[in-house]
Structure 1
Amino acid sequence: MIEILSPTDLPRARDTGALVAGILQTLKSRSVVGTNLLDIDAWAQSMIMEAGAQSCYVDYEPSFGRGPFAHYICTSVNDAVLHGLPYDYRLADGDLLSLDLAVSLGGVVADSAISFIVGETQPPDSVALIDATQRALSAGIAAAGPGVHIGDISHAIGSVLGAAGYSVNTEFGGHGVGSTMHQDPHVSNTGRPGRGYRLRPGVLLALEPWVMADTATLVTDPDGWTLRSVTGCRTAHSEHTIAITDDGVEVLTMPKP
């Protein structure tokens, strides 16, 4: 199902997006050397509940997971890239951490992810991974708008990732959001322009470029959720929720300056 929000729904979508962006930035500031992933999950829970919002993850139980997820945020470290299940691990200097958060507030969902390096050590290859996903996300957003095909967005994202030298996995990508977290249309991280659903004002999309340094193949942890690179290489993931408007696109999960 592709859900079309009315113009009166957009203020609620903005509120949800601002909440998700704020929580992620707070968690990033608290994620230092020695921080436990379970503490990050507890902080996310507290901020979601204080806002009167609902987690999209706690009861999430799709066919590909060993559910329910039973946590409030995805915490993916180093070679983990998607659906990282929080566990008893303390962050080390130089770790690459990806945080992925989806929340519902006022009946509207927003979904966003950030990747960053913990501590003082900044491995150049990890910096390049993160930069590529951020640039690909910006390209996807720039390509979006009313009348644009999904394939145009996918092509823009994939062109950046490919030019940076990364292979693109097409098992998981972006998606529609609205009253629920995962909706049609699927937004692959590579594709052909001029193909797929033509966007209309009122559509919300979560665009999420992610890459692995030297492979496009994933492996699932024994926890049934965490997806890692099959080679053990590092990974990165960037995501924003956007709204298609009459005159363009609005990024709902952009952090405030």
Structure 2
Amino acid sequence: LCTPPDKEGKVHPAILYAAKLAGVNKIFKAGGVQAIAAMAYGTESVPKVYKIFGPGNQYVTAAKQQVSLRDVAIDMPAGPSEVEVLADETANPVFVAADLLSQAEHGVDSQAMLITTSEKLMKEVEYEVQRQLALLPRWETAEKSLANSKLILVKDMDEAIDLTNEYAPEHLIIETKDYMEQAERIVSAGSVFLGSLTPESAGDYASGTNHTLPTNGYAKAYSGVSLDSFIRKITFQEINGEGIQNIGPAIEVMAANEQLGAHKNAVTVRLKTV
């Protein structure tokens, strides 16, 4: 585990405890692109790894992508965080604003988006964002992040769904009266939060889903980290006499059409013996 220490050079006890529970036996005080380089290439103290997991800022993401070209595998491109709230006229503007701000406070390059079919809700959310922003301890960071953020009014839910799937948000909160029906239409998103009582914060800390998720539209091609991400799959196969007689001719035809004579012959010589 690589984790950046605090100003006193210490690692937070909660991180150490979580690492112990997970079975981690080596912890290095390093973060950022330095940690990515150390894990990808190895140093005198940090061993080279096979695969790097974990989110980071835009520099960490760029570093992960660089080393993944030839040196090590990565979970996915997971850079600056983002959230989209998909809402209709039934949504609570206080909740929506709080959801947008909870993402905006991550960092100045984070992005919060509202896509809604209700102009009334959009105006109420805009007011609520400013009201709640003034009360936040990290208001300066959130304010800069809001410069990257947008409130988008669409004509109907069909347009909203199309835009959502094109944006492919890291976090998607659906606050509509028929949120389960709308969720069925989502094909590109990192993690989806259903209904007005399911904030993105729950996914970060308590509801059980992993929140290392694809950002910047990569949800069109990648899934979030899961137990499956840590598993390598090996296939095994055995063919008996009857089996090679059944599929052998098809293999010969396909190999011949690819002009791979040795491939074909590897089957032909076997067919002559069964």
Q: Which has the larger radius of gyration?
A: 2
TM range (shorter): under 0.3
Between 1 and 2, higher relative CO (CA 8 Å, sep ≥ 6) is seen in 1
1 or 2, which has the higher strand percentage?
1
Normalised by the length of structure 1, the TM-score is 0.24
